[in-house]
Amino acid sequence: MRTGPGDRTQQPDAATGHSKEPSLRTASPRRYLMCPPTHFEVTYSINPWMDPAKPVDRRLALTQWEELRRTYLSLGHDVELLEPRAGLPDMVFAANGATVVDGRVLGARFAHPQRAPEAAAAREWFAAHGFPDIRLPEHVNEGEGDFAVTANLVLAGRGFRASPESHAEAQEFFGRPVVGLDLVDPRFYHLDTALCVLDDAVDGADAGVMYYPGAFSPGSRKVLARLFPEALVATEADALAFGLNAVSDGRNVLLPQAATGLFAPLRERGYEPVGLDLDELLKGGGSVKCCTLEIRA
């Protein structure tokens, strides 16, 4: 089940006192890589959300994943498919396999051996689909789990998975400034669980973002406040509902429907929140963004 734009919250006009519609933002077509949860299960625990004692309904996981894919297609986006491989239950979280900027592919190097073979599978897909510039990384990074791309910057998480050295490696490869952000709460073990880029640029600013301050160190919170003074600041409840593990095309923001506190603030900023139920996949510690690798070609 998903909740679409629906009724929009109208804002009072300062001059007339009458309600008016907030200005809608503009969506841009995107290209995504996804991997079906054909082999999804939780047989080990490498983040606080994974509990092998809790049974997984693989059929339900596939149904929820398929609804996400169909939603992208209905919004006019292209979805490419990465073939799932037996023995790699976390391949459904395709965002971790690489980071793509300007057609250049920085591969992943996973922190845990259980996921290590996923990196080669992603690189092989990009090589087979005409991407000539693919880098095998020297340092640990888990793709878009810890790299968030804006028009001018790459925001990079560290503290639980990605190594600090991976930030310099990404900056040299992509030729874009990389801003390191320290994650301090293990529940938000990847940057994409604590921050979402909503659009590339707004009125000359670098980007619109939403994030949960409690996931970051005091210094990183100050950096975020300086870079994004107009950011949407999420509550702990919405962050724990994985509301920040979201995907935006500049207008439509796909996010877990349980993150109810984010819907009105997004509408007030001119975005269209689209709520989805991916609770079965959350048993593996991922939601909308984890399932979605953006191919920025």
Domains in the chain (CATH in brackets) are 25-294 (3.75.10.10)
Q: Is the model's pLDDT at 46 over the cut of 80?
A: yes
Instruction: Give the pLDDT of residue 2.
Output: 61
Q: In whole angstroms, what is the distance from residue 279 CA to residue 269 CA?
A: 27
Q: 139 in the Ramachandran plot: left (φ > 0), alpha (ψ -120 to 50) or beta? A: beta
Structure confidence by residue, pLDDT tens digits, 127-172? 999 999 999 999 999 999 999 999 889 999 999 999 999 999 999 9
Which residue in the list 35, 77, 196, 290 is annotated as catalytic? 290
pLDDT in tens, 172-187: 999 999 999 999 999 9
**Considering only 14-23, 30-39, 230-239, 252-261, which range has the smallest mean pLDDT?**
14-23
Largest CA distance in the chain: 62
Options 77, 167, 190, 291, the catalytic residue:
190
167 catalytic residue (yes or no): no
Residue 13 pLDDT class (50, 70, 90 cuts): very low
pTM (2 d.p.): 0.91
Q: Is 131:106 a contact under the CB 8 Å cutoff?
A: no
The predicted-structure confidence for 259-270, as pLDDT tens digits, reads as follows 999 999 999 999
Q: Is 18 a catalytic residue?
A: no
